């Protein structure tokens, strides 16, 4: 009977070892991949844009002493005359779109060199040029510390009050 007990323990140990050794470590590209998660407006001009990210070498985010912009959002608004989205340009002639840059900070724990995934929230200030604008969307992307540009994501349309 004792021998039977040890036999079951032995097979159980082998089974657990086999199952845990088959688990693959996550593997992501060194080029960051982002995905839109949510947008939460707090005031007429301020809101949080939440994104999901994956990065194979864990070099997303700046140190607290680094003020380099690494997340960008281009603001689009629905033109009520043409009923199409237009990128906001602050000047009328030959001006580039208004691309707002933000800083994503590195997590406190060091993930450098390791595959990571997670979520980050970016507080957008002055996300629209007028409170009369009711329909907006953003085109977003980020850069990791190796200057790899992520995929470019267009958010869904947001209907604001």
Domains of the chain with bracketed CATH: 26-159 (2.60.40)
CA–CA distance, 27 with 54 (Å, rounded to integer): 9
Report whether 124 contacts 46 (CB < 8 A): yes
Residue 28 tokens read as 């992501």
Report residue 102: phi and psi, to 5°: -135, 170
Residue 88 tokens read as 């906001």
Q: Any idea which of 7-21, 26-40, 50-64, 144-158 has the lowest mean pLDDT?
A: 7-21
Q: Count Cα neighbours of 102 within 13 Å in the Cβ-side half-sphere.
A: 20
Q: Look at residue 23 and tell me whether its pLDDT is greater than 70.
A: no
> pLDDT > 90: what percent of the chain?
36
pLDDT confidence of residue 11: 53
pLDDT confidence of residue 2: 60
What is the CB neighbour count within 10 angstroms for residue 160?
14
Q: Does 142 or 3 have the greater pLDDT score?
A: 142
């Amino acid at each position: 009977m004792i021998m039977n007990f040890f036999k079951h323990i032995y097979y159980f140990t082998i089974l657990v070892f086999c199952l845990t050794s088959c688990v693959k470590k996550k593997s992501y590209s060194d080029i960051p991949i982002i995905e839109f998660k949510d947008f939460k407006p707090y005031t007429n001009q301020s809101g949080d844009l939440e994104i999901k990210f994956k990065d194979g070498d864990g070099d997303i985010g700046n140190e607290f002493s680094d003020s380099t912009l690494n997340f960008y959002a281009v603001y689009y608004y629905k033109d009520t005359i043409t009923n199409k989205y237009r990128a906001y340009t602050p000047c009328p002639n030959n001006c580039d779109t208004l691309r707002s840059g933000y800083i994503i900070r590195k997590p406190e724990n060091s993930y450098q060199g390791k595959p990571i995934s997670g979520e980050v929230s970016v507080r957008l200030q002055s996300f629209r040029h007028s409170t009369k604008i009711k329909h907006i969307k953003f085109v977003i992307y980020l850069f990791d510390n190796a200057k790899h540009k992520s995929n470019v994501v267009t958010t869904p349309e947001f209907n604001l009050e």
